[in-house]
Amino acid sequence: GQSLEQPSEVTAVEGAIVQINCTYQTSGFYGLSWYQQHDGGAPTFLSYNALDGLEETGRFSSFLSRSDSYGYLLLQELQMKDSASYFCAVRGSTLGRLYFGRGTQLTVWP
Amino acid sequence: DSGVTQTPKHLITATGQRVTLRCSPRSGDLSVYWYQQSLDQGLQFLIQYYNGEERAKGNILERFSAQQFPDLHSELNLSSLELGDSALYFCASNQRGGGNEQFFGPGTRLTVL
């Protein structure tokens, strides 16, 4: 089966840096993705890692270590609008289905 | 706006009833995915269609069924509804069905009373 573990909640202040970790167990691995979801809204794609290392997209970066079955999302220069839930997701096969973690609720305080 | 549309936005119905949720993928996208999001279960994959054919199935109940039509829109049918079926139902799409980036619609919030 597939399982993904991520913290349920993280809090930080504006301007700070926060890291959201994700560990996974899957029978196949075709990439780790991160999605952001504001309360009641649609999940939106943030980033994707297929190979080990760091991918940077503006204030957001994502890291993957396949040997450790571990990844993280790094959010820098936090803003109030970053308050949302963040989900890691694994694609376990060549098919498109994603397995999602339960999400990390990030609260950014002024 | 992802380009994926879902109707209706909200649906309130009674136990035992049947409902149909509709999804139109982004222009050019061949693959459609359905997810259920409830408070205690997170985002659960239900089913995937690619160019009209079922491609992958998740933990979809037998009371639920889906199809993708020739114009690529998809419908999710939920029958014999139970209180526990109350959830947000999302549709997502992408072009080829194998990528990691999926574009999600705004969701349909189903409340079963």
pLDDT in tens, B15-64: 999 999 999 999 999 999 999 999 867 899 999 999 999 999 998 999 99
Neighbour count for residue A95 (Cβ, 10 Å):
16
Q: By three-state DSSP, how is residue A20 classified?
A: strand
Confidence grade of residue A96 (pLDDT, cut at 50, 70, 90): confident
Is residue B16 within 8 Å of B80, Cβ to Cβ? yes
Residues of A whose CB is below 8 A from B48:
95-97
- The answer to whether residue A60 neighbours chain B at the CB level (below 8 Å) is no
Which of B6, B34, B47, B102 to substitute to test the interface with A, most A CBs within 10 Å?
B102
